[in-house]
Amino acid sequence: MQEDVMASLPANCQATLTIDLPAIVDNYLTVRQLAGGTDAAAMVKADAYGMGLSEVAPALFHEAGCRNFFVANLAEAVALRSYTPDACIYVLNGLFPGHEDYFSAHDLRPVINSLEQLELWKKSCASLPCALHFDTGINRLGFSPDETVQLLRQPNSTGQVNIALVMSHLACADDEQNSLNLRQLDAFRKITSHFPGIPASLANSGGILLGPEYHFDMVRPGLLLFGGNPSASQPLPAGIRPAFTITGRILQVRELREGMSVGYGSGWTAPHRSRIAIVNIGYADGYLQVFNNVGHLYLQGSEVPVIGRVSMDMLAIDISDAPFAAVSEGDEIELLGQHITLEKASELSNLSQYEILTGVRERYQRVYIPVK
């Protein structure tokens, strides 16, 4: 595909995803304040939660002073290395046989999740920095409780290894009342006491809001950087703001007689004479059918309801009400952003904010607002 030809197309021929890099930088700085000045790494796995690793990571490094980044796998890490030559890059999936040379060649740090992985690193790269990941209750990745006991009883087992970070991960940080949080905190404290002088990290975005005792030496925000709210009970912290906007266009305005139905499966029927509009965003763009008949978009100062089933490439809205009298073809409409926040869209759809965010697809024209 010729990039120059694509770049010359009129902006209004597709929907637009605008990513606000200054907001991401500001959110990062706000998180550091929330964490009382503790160091903050940035979670940028899954292409920076869908927002674009190649743009988000350099902005965080150069404009926000972020020095530590976490990605899921080796491929993401190698890509990130090319965007941020001087960052510390941790790979959450850990180390697998035959991958050691890639870690050393690209100066990457495995998050060591098991005794086997520890042995592997020890054999080939003991002097290079890595993280040790202890599972304190999520039972996903990391040293199991049995392995943890084994490891701590034999301090020599890590003697030659260059441990740059000791970490664990919270299972229920979104729910501040959940007793597992304190149990994990307690278990992690005991573990860190065996690693004096080595930085420790426990809190994801949700954990940051649980309070200072969860902050240790480094927090690991993800969702907060992009304006989502990791807490099920607390409001979005002051200073955190939406970091992206999805703007669609109205393809067609239609007048319906009472009883006419709209979309696949005739998912909505006009209760009276109605005026509807078709918007150029559908589930192939990440706006799934859980929004059928319940989604809200933002149009000319008011929220407007999604009607019927979301199609692959478009959706319908009811613009019968007075605020929308002037709406016409070509008009812009907000799907997600300042007014339809991740929190609001999550409430309407029962999708998690994380799923909505990482579900943003490739079809949008992307615009990055630069820092400064």
Least gap, CB of 355 to a copy of itself (angstroms): 5
> In whole angstroms, what is the distance from residue 78 CA to residue 68 CA?
15
**Between residues 114 and 300, which has the closer beta carbon with respect to a copy of itself?**
114
7-9-12 Cα angle (round to 5): 120
175 contributes a contact to a copy of itself by CB under 8 A = yes
Considering only 14, 18, 293, 300, the residue that binds a copy of itself (CB under 8 A) is: 14
367 contributes a contact to a copy of itself by CB under 8 A = no
Task: Point out which span in 17-25, 55-63, 194-202, 346-354 binds a copy of itself (CB under 8 A).
Answer: 346-354
Residue 358 parent element (H or E): helix 353-358
5 contributes a contact to a copy of itself by CB under 8 A = yes
320 contributes a contact to a copy of itself by CB under 8 A = no
Which residues ranging from 288 to 317 are in contact with a copy of itself (CB under 8 A)?
A: 288-289, 311-314, 316
User: β-pairing, 365-369 with 302-307?
Assistant: unpaired
Which residues ranging from 195 to 234 are in contact with a copy of itself (CB under 8 A)?
A: none
**179 in the Ramachandran plot: left (φ > 0), alpha (ψ -120 to 50) or beta?**
alpha
252 contributes a contact to a copy of itself by CB under 8 A = yes
**Dihedral angle computed from the Cα positions of residues 215, 219, 223 and 228, in that order, rounded to the nearest 10 degrees:** 40
Considering only 126, 355, 366, 371, the residue that binds a copy of itself (CB under 8 A) is: 355
Q: Residue 335: phi, psi to the nearest 5?
A: -90, -45
Coil, helix or strand for 241? Answer: coil
Task: Point out which span in 156-164, 189-197, 212-220, 359-367 binds a copy of itself (CB under 8 A).
Answer: 359-367
Task: Point out which span in 118-126, 234-242, 338-346, 350-358 binds a copy of itself (CB under 8 A).
Answer: 350-358
Least gap, CB of 78 to a copy of itself (angstroms): 6
261 contributes a contact to a copy of itself by CB under 8 A = yes
83 contributes a contact to a copy of itself by CB under 8 A = yes
Considering only 302, 352, 369, 371, the residue that binds a copy of itself (CB under 8 A) is: 352
> In whole angstroms, what is the distance from residue 97 CA to residue 273 CA?
66
User: β-pairing, 296-299 with 302-307?
Assistant: antiparallel
Q: What are the C-alpha distances in Å from 355 to residues 162, 229, 350? A: 36, 13, 10
182 contributes a contact to a copy of itself by CB under 8 A = no
> In whole angstroms, what is the distance from residue 90 CA to residue 293 CA?
42
Least gap, CB of 46 to a copy of itself (angstroms): 4
Which residues ranging from 51 to 80 are in contact with a copy of itself (CB under 8 A)?
A: 54, 72-76, 78-79
**261 in the Ramachandran plot: left (φ > 0), alpha (ψ -120 to 50) or beta?**
beta
Least gap, CB of 312 to a copy of itself (angstroms): 6
Residue 315 parent element (H or E): strand 315-318
**Between residues 11 and 325, which has the closer beta carbon with respect to a copy of itself?**
11
Burial (CB count within 10 angstroms: exposed 0-12, middle 13-18, buried 19+), residue 144: middle
Considering only 26, 174, 318, 334, the residue that binds a copy of itself (CB under 8 A) is: 174
> In whole angstroms, what is the distance from residue 134 CA to residue 198 CA?
14
> In whole angstroms, what is the distance from residue 169 CA to residue 371 CA?
31
Considering only 19, 44, 99, 346, the residue that binds a copy of itself (CB under 8 A) is: 99
Query: Total binding residues for a copy of itself by CB under 8 A?
Result: 86
Residues with a known catalytic role: 45, 264
**Between residues 26 and 281, which has the closer beta carbon with respect to a copy of itself?**
281
Task: Point out which span in 34-42, 122-130, 240-248, 280-288 binds a copy of itself (CB under 8 A).
Answer: 280-288
